[in-house]
Chain A
Amino acid sequence: EAGVTQFPSHSVIEKGQTVTLRCDPISGHDNLYWYRRVMGKEIKFLLHFVKESKQDESGMPNNRFLAERTGGTYSTLKVQPAELEDSGVYFCASSQVRSGGKGEAFFGQGTRLTVV
């Protein structure tokens, strides 16, 4: 069974440009999460989808970030326009059940975004 896959693995863009990150969760997983790790800091929650609905987007830093999950399958995270502080590694994770605190999420390898 394929794991969580993310594209691209690495992206370098100029400040002011637009970048779209993609995440394909494990088939059948209703929960999809986006996280971000800025260099040297903790991995921080961005948002959580249940199927196609945004369950919690409290971690989204500002309105330059837009996440979608059309059809409840793959998800995209668009940054427009990108700023230098958006650089970091963006992780996607999926899980099968709304575990209420007991479950495990499966993570992708991450997309390393560098804004120059």
Chain B
Amino acid sequence: GNSVTQMEGPVTLSEEAFLTINCTYTATGYPSLFWYVQYPGEGLQLLLKATKADDKGSNKGFEATYRKETTSFHLEKGSVQVSDSAVYFCALISGNQFYFGTGTSLTVIP
């Protein structure tokens, strides 16, 4: 079956620290992979995506590389800001259905 396993939170970092949120997946075939972000009081927004192996998605300083050999799609950012505080969800799409991880809450303190 399809599933996404995501790093447990919450995560608290100081401003300008390095961020990694781990995500691994199980899927039939070769799904597209996504990171969604939910800022306080807002809906889920697409942060970045990758559609095939070795693709790197990037946006707003965040990056994630589709690693087929390790079935992973870890999210990274070199220097986080207070405005990055949010809940981050790793997801894959198979057929027309999204499968999400549990979400990782990130708080960045000044």
Which residues of A does B touch, CB under 8 Å? 3-4, 6, 31, 33, 35, 37, 40-45, 48, 55-56, 91, 93, 98-110
Which among B12-20, B61-69, B73-81, B99-107 touches the partner chain?
Answer: B99-107
B58 at the interface (CB under 8 A from A): no
Distance in angstroms between the alpha carbons of A30 and B45 in the assembled complex:
19
B-side interface size class:
20 to 34
Enumerate chain A residues within 8 angstroms of B110, measured Cβ to Cβ.
none
Query: CB distance B103 to A102 under 8 Å?
Result: no
A40-B102, A101-B32 in contact; A107/B97 too (CB < 8 A)? no
Contacts of B91 in A (CB 8 A): 43
- Nearest-neighbour CB distance to chain A for B52, whole angstroms, equals 10
Task: List chain A residues, Cβ under 8 A from B6.
Answer: 42
Cβ of B98 and Cβ of A105 under 8 Å apart? yes
**Does residue B21 face the partner (Cβ distance < 8 Å to A)?**
no
B16-53 Cβ-contact flags toward A at 8 Å (1 or 0): 00000000000001011010100001111110010100
- With a cutoff of 8 Å between Cβ atoms, the chain A residues found around residue B93 in the complex are 99, 101-103
Query: How distant is the Cα of A106 from the Cα of B45 in the complex, in angstroms?
Result: 7
Please provide the chain B residues from 83 to 100 with a CB less than 8 Å away from any CB of chain A in the complex: 89, 91, 93-100
Contacts A37-B103, A102-B32, A107-B36 known; A3 to B43 CB distance under 8 Å? Answer: yes
A91 near B43 (CB under 8 angstroms)?
Answer: yes
Closest to B43 in A: A109
Given contacts A41-B102, A43-B103, contact A48 B96 (CB under 8 A): yes
Q: Give Cα A100 to B94, complex, Å.
A: 7
Whether A56 contacts B43 by the Cβ 8 Å rule is: no
B95 contact set on A, CB distance < 8 A = 100-101
Residues of chain A contacted by B102 (CB below 8 angstroms): 40-42
22 contacts between A and B (CB under 8 A): A3-B43, A4-B43, A31-B96, A37-B103, A41-B102, A42-B6, A42-B101, A45-B99, A48-B96, A48-B97, A99-B93, A101-B29, A101-B95, A102-B32, A102-B51, A103-B93, A104-B49, A107-B36, A107-B43, A107-B45, A108-B43, A110-B44
